[in-house]
Amino acid sequence: MTSASKSLAATPPMGWNSWNQFGWNVNEAVVRETADAMISSGLKDCGYEYVVIDDCWSKKDGRDSNGYLVPDPDKFPNGIKALADYVHNLGLKIGIYSDAADLTCGSYPGSYGFEEQDAQMWASWGIDFLKYDYCNAPEDQASAIERYSRMGEALRKTGREFLFSLCEWGGRSPHLWGREVGGHMWRVSGDVFDSWVNIWVADHTYYGIGIDVSLDLAAELAEYGGPGGWNDLDMLIVGLKGKGLVSGGGLSFVEYQTHMSMWCMACSPLMIGCDVRAMEKETAALLMNPEVLAVNQDALGEPVRRVKQMDRCEIWKKPLADSSVAVALVNRGASGSDVTVKASDIGLLDAPKLVRNLWAQEDIADFKVELTRRVQPHETLLLKVDKH
């Protein structure tokens, strides 16, 4: 077994992934233009670094006669190596996808039995990140550990630094063994859809996870994430607005803001899922608020804790490196509510404290014992409380 290298994923990985918006239509032009847009929009300057090609990049009908995966020549006419060079020249990193079985989720060739050959090939292309899925693989935990270890070891043997992203959807408790197999992040759920509540997908074949439900998973598993290995709440749905592959009708602005706030509080990787070549102003504001991102990227990597549940309103807190505390007041209910946070709820003394609204980037109050704020349905107030 391998262990994750320390400097890699010291804070939650940030980037973009092709799946949510483009699905099987990912191609070279999309990836190049996305990389360009990450520079021109300012996303790179905010810390978004990885450009990840998800499923459906290789030829679907199988490997070549030497057992190599072949990039689909219609989608990637110049191959992946040229694309990797292009992305690297922009100062970004590139990721790819495979699966721990014969076939991926989209029924493209997987890597089981070819781990070393594939890892060596990706290393020769200059790949920096592997998302490794688990469709068509055995259900049990021991098999998952074995299959992820094989790939973790194969990546390590290449001598190239790979960020290893495990995607078995949480069913086999990857938070308990993800680090040991060389993983830097592990999904904790099935696919998150562009929906507030869970929805049935593809003729009731499986559940698409809604943002509301993800919050409970984030609370439950928080303590297992930290520098080098993170709970992955799944790619962001910010900006999809009902488009793309994981459409669940879309969220309201306030709901997208809750999603982003809580992914940041929970130290989830932030992998953008929308088309960043055509970002609306509102989407850019949600993805690029430096004070909100700083909560996610805080050097301590301390787990978030849900400290209070009052009917459908909740208070969450996360200690930050500068000894302030990030606090989220979340209203998961259907009507507006006054939420009171007490100094004792967030582990602070009854002394004056300065409260900053991170989305608005403004100081809003000085409080000693408690603070009350109106929180609208599905809204989150994201605060930073500084001890004076």
- Catalytic positions are 133, 191
Neighbouring CB atoms inside 10 A of 324's CB total: 18
Using CB under 6 A as the binding rule, the residues of this chain from 342 to 361 that contact ligand GLA are: none
Could you tell me whether strands 185-187 and 230-232 are parallel, antiparallel, or unpaired per DSSP bridges?
Answer: parallel
Number of shown-chain residues binding ligand GLA (CB under 6 A): 9
What is the closest distance, in whole angstroms, from the C-beta atom of residue 343 to ligand GLA in the complex? 41
CA distance 23 to 56: 8
Using CB under 6 A as the binding rule, the residues of this chain from 270 to 329 that contact ligand GLA are: none
Which of these segments, 102-110, 136-144, 197-205, 352-360, binds ligand GLA (CB under 6 A)?
Answer: 102-110
Token pair listed for 39: 């520079």
What are the Cα distances from residue 243, in Å, to 193, 246, 252?
11, 8, 14
Q: Which is nearer to ligand GLA, 92 or 209 (CB)?
A: 209
Determine the number of helices (DSSP H) and then strands (DSSP E) in the chain.
Answer: 11, 18
Token pair listed for 63: 């490997």
Which of these segments, 103-111, 120-128, 252-260, 269-277, binds ligand GLA (CB under 6 A)?
Answer: 103-111
> Torsion angle of alpha carbons 10, 265, 283, 269, nearest 10°?
30
What are the Cα distances from residue 45, in Å, to 15, 245, 281, 294?
11, 28, 17, 13
CA distance 109 to 327: 45
Work out whether 133 is an interface residue with ligand GLA (CB under 6 A): yes
Using CB under 6 A as the binding rule, the residues of this chain from 6 to 25 that contact ligand GLA are: 19
What is the closest distance, in whole angstroms, from the C-beta atom of residue 23 to ligand GLA in the complex? 8
Token pair listed for 186: 């592990």
Q: In the chain, helix, strand, coil percent, each to 5?
A: 30, 25, 45
Interface with ligand GLA (CB under 6 A), residue from 191, 255, 275, 298: 191
Q: Which is nearer to ligand GLA, 151 or 167 (CB)?
A: 167
Token pair listed for 375: 């929180």
Interface with ligand GLA (CB under 6 A), residue from 106, 171, 226, 377: 106
Interface with ligand GLA (CB under 6 A), residue from 167, 236, 293, 355: 167
- Hey, is 94 helix, strand or coil? strand
What is the closest distance, in whole angstroms, from the C-beta atom of residue 246 to ligand GLA in the complex? 8
Q: Which is nearer to ligand GLA, 4 or 105 (CB)?
A: 105
Q: Which is nearer to ligand GLA, 167 or 251 (CB)?
A: 167
What is the closest distance, in whole angstroms, from the C-beta atom of residue 99 to ligand GLA in the complex? 8
What is the closest distance, in whole angstroms, from the C-beta atom of residue 352 to ligand GLA in the complex? 46
Strand partners, 16: 51, 272
CA distance 80 to 122: 9
Site string for ligand GLA, 51-70 (x = CB under 6 A): ---xx---------------
Work out whether 105 is an interface residue with ligand GLA (CB under 6 A): yes
What is the closest distance, in whole angstroms, from the C-beta atom of residue 341 to ligand GLA in the complex? 35
DSSP 377: T
Handedness of CA 88, 90, 93, 94 (dihedral sign): negative
Which of these segments, 72-80, 104-112, 148-156, 272-280, binds ligand GLA (CB under 6 A)?
Answer: 104-112
Counting beta carbons within 10 angstroms of the beta carbon of residue 333, is it exposed (0 to 12), middle (13 to 18) or buried (19 or more)? Answer: middle
Which of these segments, 98-106, 261-269, 274-282, 366-374, binds ligand GLA (CB under 6 A)?
Answer: 98-106
Which of these segments, 28-36, 100-108, 111-119, 352-360, binds ligand GLA (CB under 6 A)?
Answer: 100-108
Handedness of CA 118, 119, 124, 130 (dihedral sign): positive
What is the closest distance, in whole angstroms, from the C-beta atom of residue 14 to ligand GLA in the complex? 17
Instruction: Summarize as ranges the residues that interact with ligand GLA (CB under 6 A).
Output: 19, 54-55, 104-106, 133, 167, 191
